[in-house]
Structure 1
């Protein structure tokens, strides 16, 4: 006879939540950030030997040194997030935003170099915009076509396209500088020809354009027919086919939209921000995935998540500078801890934990012990009160007898 194995109940039961109120979700994230701050404070004592409050003061000081740069960095990260948003909502894992924006910027820079002095400046700017958008669409649609018709892995395909873009940019830079250096430098730095006009300063125009793109993306995804089709294809391709949606067409069209956004961002890099192109021009694509996911693919919430990430990077950079740490190890540790806690809070947002019977039994025993400890002093007090009353009664009796004896 073989003994059946006893199946023990787990200590905890994890069940998926149906929904969570927005304020509960906000409290969960706030608690996770508070816990991360405590851990960072302990590490600042151990690793740097500094008062945690001084470290946090340095962090917040870094946020207000250059507010315009902070806003521009937030806008650019938001722009990268908008470029991948439609694809990710469709569950097409587009890892190629860096390459798509890099190639768009390359196309705009090429037009700036090639046609300066040969065409009127407004026409050059228009040509830069068209070339940038078309290149962004091309670089995004190529893997989409292979995905739609041959079911290739879009993650690997778009990653390889990134490396191809870096190689092409390096080749262009070497050729332009007669194979002397990788970076071509700022184009038209003296004449500033084919640069976009400034609205007060160089930061305002890119910020306004990306803000407008955010509103348009929200309207496109929430209220347009295309946005509805993206949601249906993302939920189930079989359901989409059943209701008559052409899945291949939706995939290619959606990546075309992503390419347009990438083209606009690349155009802004070339015409308004850096005025050059190198492999370090577009490096925010993977961080953009994080901010889009934390925002649950809501363009307006992505503004807050992008600002959070940029503040984190700026503040930790200031810590590294003020304390002359030499390397960015502490800044990277702080960033990693905060990301870990914030991402970990998503677990408690989506799932709830219930204690098993064994844990509940232990908790009940602990409660009983506390109740006994509370009852014991009460019993002692009652007993002492009884002793006092008995003593007073004895004293009264003895006093009465003494009085009787005195009368006699």
Structure 2
């Protein structure tokens, strides 16, 4: 008779947490930042033999070392935050909107076109309102198309929205060539440089103060919308379980279409802010990868728009800091990007320990031993 098979418990098991106190979650994130700084410091010293503290100081100076640097960092953080706020309702609904880049571009195209053709017709306040409404409509349309296909024919929204980015890029290239392309470049020159028609006005002496006002208003509005409205509740239910939503009488197609229209509209407005409030030009690089970076902003914040503020500023700080240390310490871009990658990896990895815990198996001594 063969001996019974003895099953041994694994030394370590991964168990999903039911819940975790907020203070403990933030402590885990803080420890992740400390670990990231230590690992980055080791990398800096091993590769360059530089003082890591001096490098970190250089990163801070690149982001906040002067008034101009500070406002540039704020401007870029607001752009990231705006796109993250736009992605929040779609991602909370588990509709994977990877098309924010295209939605930003079509909003920027409409803004640039109106600046060029109506810059001498309307006053700046009226023109800004027209451009904002046009960019919202363009972004909403770009979000509606994949939502309608998803609702009617069950298409894959990830691939659909991703492919629409390339359509928007080619459309931008066509408009650039149509409006102004003297050197065969992919960028229209600065629009209305002499008159500044359609440019954001200075508020409190700052060009990008209106950016901050618009984006922070959107941030508060989206938080209230997702948390306290019936439509926000429907988005949460659909995101938890489509079957549960159907059982509760929620019409999925209507939620998909409505939510993606809102998501695309806000991303289109980000294109308006980028063209009228920052670059004052349009190119295939107007979105600048923010549509993908904002996915990190929305996901890490768990779609809480107030938490997104912190994450957007962190990413903007890392971007500006990496540029500064690359020039100040003669580091190539790869080295500075590795430092950024280490910090992001640790922060993203901390979410694992927030959602899961490690359970170690202790072997019990046999009785009598």
Superposition TM-score, scaled by structure 2 size? 0.93
Determine which of 219, 222, 238 is the counterpart of 2:227.
Answer: 222
Structure 1 equivalent of residue 70 of structure 2:
67
Superposed CA offset, 1:144-184 (max 9, x none): 10011111111111110001101110111112236733211
SS in structure 1 of the partner of residue 13 of structure 2: strand
Query: 2:325 matched to 1:319?
Result: yes
Match of 2:179 in 1: 176
Distance in structure 2 (CA, Å) of the matches to 1:125 and 1:292: 28
1:300 aligns with 2:306: yes
Whether the 8 Å CA contact 2:40–2:339 is kept in 1: the answer is: yes
Cα distance between partner residues in 2 of 1:169 and 1:245: 38
Alignment pair present for 1:249 and 2:254: yes
What are the within-5 Å matches in structure 2 for residues 67-146 of structure 1?
A: 67-146=70-149
In the superposition, relative to structure 1, how do residues 15 and 120 fare at CA in structure 2: closer, same or farther (>3 Å)?
closer
**Secondary structure at the residue paired with 2:357?**
strand
How many pairs does the alignment contain? 359
Q: Which ranges in structure 1 are unaligned for 5 or more consecutive residues?
A: 362-408
How large is the Cα RMSD of the aligned pairs?
Answer: 1.7
Please state how far the C-alpha of 1:274 moved relative to its aligned partner: 1.2
Q: CA deviation at 1:196?
A: 2.8
Larger Rg over CA atoms = 1
The partner residue of 1:208 within 206, 213, 219 is 213
Candidates 291, 295, 299, aligned match of 1:289: 295
**CA offset digits 1:247-269 (Å, max 9, x no partner):** 10010000111122122212222
* TM-score, length-scaled by structure 1: 0.84
What is aligned with 2:267? 262
1:210-235 Cα deviation digits (max 9, x unpaired): 01110100111111111011111111
Shift of 1:316: 2.0
Q: Secondary structure of 1:301's match?
A: helix
Structure 2: gaps of 5 or more residues: none
User: Which gives a bigger RCO, structure 1 or 2 (Cα 8 Å, sep 6+)?
Assistant: 2
* Structure 1 position 280 matched with structure 2 position 292: no
